[in-house]
Structure 1
Amino acid sequence: MLLAIDTSSQVMSLALHDGRQIVYEATWRTRNNHTTELTPTIETALEQAAIKASGLAAVAVAQGPGSFTGLRIGLGVAKGLAEAQQLPLIAIPSLDIVAAAVPAFNGPLVAVLQAGRGRVCAQRYRWARDVWVADGDASITTWLALVESVEQETIFAGEIDEAGYGLLNETGRPARCVPGAFSLRRAGFLAELAWARFAAGDMDDPATVTPIYLNQPGEPRS
């Protein structure tokens, strides 16, 4: 059984994957209570699946980008479990989790996370070999700059706030949001991505894996 943990932002998610299907999943919005909410939810997940931590085969965690506090807590818990139970650890970029939920599309996908102060962290993807593949690096930008950069039919997914919805709906450019169910960052997709790596023997070293933060060097942490 693989435990998947995502605390990248105020949207938290947790899942258990048995190698064939998701056997438990919970996704919720927190008011920065990552510390007090994560461990009890893991305990509930294990209880619902009728297993103990010692019965896990691997731990997966969202690596970021994301908030400093959320990522620190998620990585800390995931590393602690991996080291205590001698489990493999798999870290997956958070925007890859967003992209994994979006169906195939003949055009670019832009996955986003809120970065605070009116900014977003955005990553472009292209559909290739039946999966979304990152096209370039993630960057911190604004909704206005993102929308103005659209030159071909493009879909957006992830943490799209009211400002983003407004600009995307009002622009004359060929941009649109995916339906809400495809936009939610879910640990079930983190678990699917991580299980594929686990099955291929592609794991991370708990001692060296580090989070990817939203903030640029020298900026205040979120």
Structure 2
Amino acid sequence: MLLAVDTSTPQIGVALYDGARVLAEHLWVSQSRHTVELAPMVEKMFQQTGLTVSDLSGLGVALGPGSFTSLRVGLSFVKGLAISRTLPLIGISTLEVIAAPVALDKRPLACLLPAGRGRLAVGWFQAEGNGWRAMGSPYISSAEEVSVSIKEPTLIAGDLTIAERSLLQNNPLIQLVSPALSTRRPGVLAELAWQRLQTGQTNPLHSLAPLYLHIGEPI
């Protein structure tokens, strides 16, 4: 059994996954109350499923990019569990969680996350084999800059406002993935982490850190 936790942005997600099914999944937008809300929701999942922490064999966590404070809440929570229960921990890029459920396509895929102050974290992916492969490193931009930069048919998925979606749609080369399919599901994070757990791709606790795109400038 694997517990997955994503606190990258105001949207929080938690899920329990047994390798074949998502047994429980909760997703909500928090009003900057990540520290207060995370643990009770995890406990609620255990109660709903009749499981306990003792049933866990691994942990998965979204590493960002995302909010400086929010990311630390999730990572601190799972690290505490990993240490107290001697559980393996797997960190996954938050942008990879967005990309994973998008149908494979010959067009490049840009995944976007809110980065505060009207900025967006941007990560590019290319279809390869049975999944999406990250191309280059993520960076900070804006919806307008992303729209202007795209010169070929491109898919875009991510957590976007109405205004950002409207702006991006002005470029006829852009096809936006629907809001529902762009939503970061903790069940997807759990599945990605489970796959790596099965092949021994775990992360040393001492070196696992959130991905911040602006060091010293919280987003």
Please give the range of the TM-score, normalised by the shorter of the 2 chains: over 0.9
SS of the equivalent of 1:75 reads: helix
- 2:64 and 2:211 in contact (8 A); partners too: yes
- 2:121 and 2:140 in contact (8 A); partners too: yes
Q: Which amino acid aligns with 1:5?
A: V
Q: Which amino acid aligns with 1:208?
A: S
- 2:63 and 2:209 in contact (8 A); partners too: yes
Q: Which amino acid aligns with 1:181?
A: A
Compute the displacement of 1:122 (Å): 0.4
In structure 2, C-alpha distance between the alignment counterparts of 1:145 and 1:91, rounded to whole Å: 29
Q: Which amino acid aligns with 2:187?
A: G
In structure 2, C-alpha distance between the alignment counterparts of 1:106 and 1:209, rounded to whole Å: 33
Partner of 1:66: 66
SS of the equivalent of 2:105 reads: coil
SS of the equivalent of 1:44 reads: helix
In structure 2, C-alpha distance between the alignment counterparts of 1:126 and 1:106, rounded to whole Å: 8
SS of the equivalent of 1:151 reads: coil
Structure 1, gaps ≥5 residues long: none
In structure 1, C-alpha distance between the alignment counterparts of 2:43 and 2:163, rounded to whole Å: 37
SS of the equivalent of 1:47 reads: helix
Q: Which amino acid aligns with 2:107?
A: G
Compute the displacement of 1:206 (Å): 1.5
Partner of 1:179: 178
Compute the displacement of 1:50 (Å): 1.1
In structure 1, C-alpha distance between the alignment counterparts of 2:153 and 2:117, rounded to whole Å: 28
How many residues were matched structurally? 219
Partner of 2:145: 145
Once the two structures are superposed, the pairs formed by residues 111-126 of structure 1 within 5 Å of their partners are 111-126=111-126
Compute the displacement of 1:155 (Å): 1.1
Is residue 8 of structure 2 the alignment partner of residue 8 of structure 1? yes
Structure 2, gaps ≥5 residues long: none
Compute the displacement of 1:105 (Å): 1.6
Partner of 1:76: 76
- 2:109 and 2:157 in contact (8 A); partners too: yes
SS of the equivalent of 1:138 reads: strand
Once the two structures are superposed, the pairs formed by residues 32-111 of structure 1 within 5 Å of their partners are 32-111=32-111
Q: Which amino acid aligns with 1:54?
A: S
In structure 2, C-alpha distance between the alignment counterparts of 1:53 and 1:45, rounded to whole Å: 11
**Deviations along 1:135-183, whole A, 9 cap, x unmatched?**
1110001111101111111111111112311212222x30021112210
TM-score with structure 1 setting the length:
0.96
Percent identity between the two aligned chains: 39
- Structure 1 vs Structure 2 CA RMSD: 1.0
**Deviations along 1:70-99, whole A, 9 cap, x unmatched?**
110000000000110000000001000000
- 2:144 and 2:168 in contact (8 A); partners too: no
Partner of 1:127: 127
- 1:143 and 1:163 in contact (8 A); partners too: no
SS of the equivalent of 1:98 reads: helix
In structure 1, C-alpha distance between the alignment counterparts of 2:193 and 2:215, rounded to whole Å: 29
**Deviations along 1:38-92, whole A, 9 cap, x unmatched?**
0000001111121111210001000111101111000000000011000000000
